[in-house]
Structure 1
Amino acid sequence: MPEGKIIKALSGFYYVLTAENEVIQCRGRGVFRKNKVTPLVGDEVVFQAENDQEGYILEIGKRKNELVRPPIANVDQAILVFSAVEPDFSPALLDRFLVLVEFNGIRPIICVTKLDLATSDERKTIEQYKEDYESAGYQVLLTSSETEDGVEQLIPLLESKISVFAGQSGVGKSSLLNVLRPDLSIKTDDISSHLGRGKHTTRHVELIHVGAGLVADTPGFSSLDFTDIEAEDLNYCFPDIEQKSENCKFRACLHIKEPKCAVKDAVEAGEIPQYRYDHYKQFLQEIKDRKPRY
């Protein structure tokens, strides 16, 4: 039986990319509906071709991860796109995205856009954030879609991977993809100065070839709430905090009131930025305040 990867889902049809680089339009078998399984973009599937254009999906391979929105599976990395200005760079929102991506077992890459619009002081601030996040273990790219500076750094990172571009609305995700693949001409809307954010211009999830990789341009996460994350999980979603926590006196240390906490010592010593620790505490409180699910 032929195998392939779903690269687009639209109106009950699944478009499967084969090893021969052909795209076959498939429907899902009724058994998937019966078992409440929905094929997702990114799924590795076995299908039966009725002819060279149509077929049925018979099996869905084991997923290494899946996101609810965007509805996509087997994501290797998330390019978290944040602008330096318009809208202003938000480390609190970035840390929220980073936690969700880390929790889903997806490698994050931070990409700061619109550097051409930043003043010299704003640029210095961004450079400091870059240093902080690189010290925490993240890869940070500084780019401008307008001047195309730094965008070429993305091409080798996309090779042989499924990547999602995610981030706050209006930061220039589509503009970035248009530089990477000018033939796409993805629709972009100007930022509404009244709202201070862009309008959603991306409608459905589709994997597109960019360089030697596959990329999903998505409207981003439907929810930035920590619905599935438990208090003891949060530590692992902050690599800089997790690394220091190995030296805490108590193994289940939450780094709030516990004595001999290596994380609090690292914050005092300036080894972990205060704002990262503040966000950790804020997120932990959100998780603790969450209504229990039954």
Structure 2
Amino acid sequence: MPEGIIIKALSGFYYVKNGENVIQCRARGIFRKKKVSPLVGDSVVFEAENPIDGYILSINERKNVLNRPPIANVDQALLIFSVAEPDFDDGLLDRFLVHMESHQISSLICLTKIDLLGVEAREKLSKRIAPYQAAGYPVLLTSSLHRDGLEDVSGLIRGRISVITGQSGVGKSSLLNALNEQLSIDTQAISQALGRGKHTTRHVELLPVCGGFVADTPGFSSLDFAEVEANDLEDCFPEFRTLRDSCRFRGCTHIAEPDCAVKTARDHGQISEARYQHYCMFFHEISQRKKVY
């Protein structure tokens, strides 16, 4: 039986890429009985007598799964945030980073609209992104309008499946169009009244970009931690992981305990105060979450 990868899911149909061909498939009823849904990114076994009348027979083992956005087998996340219009939101960025770290998916931080910043604003931005670079996250500065930084982005997504997501209205679609002009994805300007962008992407789809696949996804204005436990949150902050064994108490939450190596590093400027405050906020949010039985 032939195999392929689902590149788009829309209105109950799954579009499976097999070599140069794309076959429109439906899922067999057995998936509903097992309460399993095929996802974009799935490697599947299918049968088809013609290009518009196929059926997915089975789903191969997944290496990871994201629920928001719904996609499987992601190699990396390309987190898109603008430096202006809308303003850079490091709190939301940290939420996305925690989400990806909890699924053991590496992240690339891509900042768009860099052409909107003057010299002084760029210096301030450099200070804000330094903690992310120190934590090991690649940070890419781009301008789709002037095509700045596009070669750096293309080099990092080549040969990989990357999920592209982030705050709404930051230029995700514009960036993809700049990387592959044949895509012609619809874009909309940011709403001046609301101060945020409109959702221009309605479904998840794998798009061919620079020798790899990029999953264009709907943007989000918020993100919860339904799949993260409070005790596991420190694992989602790389700069905390290297210090936790130096804390006085095993299982230190890095909030109220004395002789905490993480808090000491924060006090000495080795850990970002903003990142630490976001950690505390997220820890409290998860701790207050109602348990679902």
TM-score tier by shorter-chain length is over 0.9
**1: CA distance between counterparts of 2:292 and 2:17?**
39
Q: How big is each residue's C-alpha offset from its partner over 1:208-245, in whole Å with a ceiling of 9 and x where there is no partner? A: 10011101111135850111211111000000111121
Task: Give me the TM-score of the superposition, normalised by structure 2.
Answer: 0.96
For 1:199, the equivalent position in structure 2 comes to 198
1:190 aligns with 2:189: yes
TM superposition shift of 1:292: 1.8
**SS at 2:126 equivalent:** helix
TM superposition shift of 1:50: 2.0
For 1:270, the equivalent position in structure 2 comes to 269
Q: How big is each residue's C-alpha offset from its partner over 1:20-76, in whole Å with a ceiling of 9 and x where there is no partner? A: 221111111111111111111000001112235532111101112212232211111
Show the 5 A alignment for 1:205-220: 205-220=204-219
For 1:9, the equivalent position in structure 2 comes to 9
Q: How big is each residue's C-alpha offset from its partner over 1:247-267, in whole Å with a ceiling of 9 and x where there is no partner? A: 112221110121221101110
Task: Give me the TM-score of the superposition, normalised by structure 1.
Answer: 0.96
TM superposition shift of 1:137: 1.1
State whether residues 84 and 122 of structure 1, in contact with CA within 8 Å, keep that contact through their aligned partners in structure 2.
Answer: no
**1: CA distance between counterparts of 2:66 and 2:220?**
8
- Amino acid in structure 2 at the alignment position of 1:41: V
1:240 aligns with 2:242: no
State whether residues 69 and 222 of structure 1, in contact with CA within 8 Å, keep that contact through their aligned partners in structure 2.
Answer: no
Q: Residues 185 and 51 from structure 1, CA distance in 2 versus in 1: closer, same or farther, beyond 3 angstroms?
A: closer
**1: CA distance between counterparts of 2:218 and 2:284?**
28
**2: CA distance between counterparts of 1:52 and 1:143?**
39
- Amino acid in structure 1 at the alignment position of 2:106: R
For 2:133, the equivalent position in structure 1 comes to 134
For 1:112, the equivalent position in structure 2 comes to 111
**SS at 1:182 equivalent:** coil
- Amino acid in structure 1 at the alignment position of 2:200: T
Q: Among all aligned residue pairs of Structure 1 and Structure 2, give the percentage whose two residues are the same amino acid.
A: 60
TM superposition shift of 1:10: 1.3
Show the 5 A alignment for 1:1-294: 1-18=1-18, 20-221=19-220, 224-294=223-293
Structure 1 stretches lacking a partner, 5+ long: none
Aligned length: 293
- Amino acid in structure 2 at the alignment position of 1:127: S
Structure 2 stretches lacking a partner, 5+ long: none
State whether residues 80 and 165 of structure 2, in contact with CA within 8 Å, keep that contact through their aligned partners in structure 1.
Answer: yes
**2: CA distance between counterparts of 1:221 and 1:189?**
15
State whether residues 77 and 164 of structure 2, in contact with CA within 8 Å, keep that contact through their aligned partners in structure 1.
Answer: yes
State whether residues 69 and 220 of structure 1, in contact with CA within 8 Å, keep that contact through their aligned partners in structure 2.
Answer: no
**2: CA distance between counterparts of 1:182 and 1:51?**
30
- Amino acid in structure 2 at the alignment position of 1:209: P
**SS at 1:184 equivalent:** coil
TM superposition shift of 1:97: 1.0
- Amino acid in structure 1 at the alignment position of 2:164: F
State whether residues 78 and 101 of structure 1, in contact with CA within 8 Å, keep that contact through their aligned partners in structure 2.
Answer: yes
**2: CA distance between counterparts of 1:28 and 1:139?**
38
- Amino acid in structure 2 at the alignment position of 1:26: C
Q: Which is worse superposed, 253-262 or 134-143?
A: 253-262
Root mean square deviation of aligned Cα: 1.3
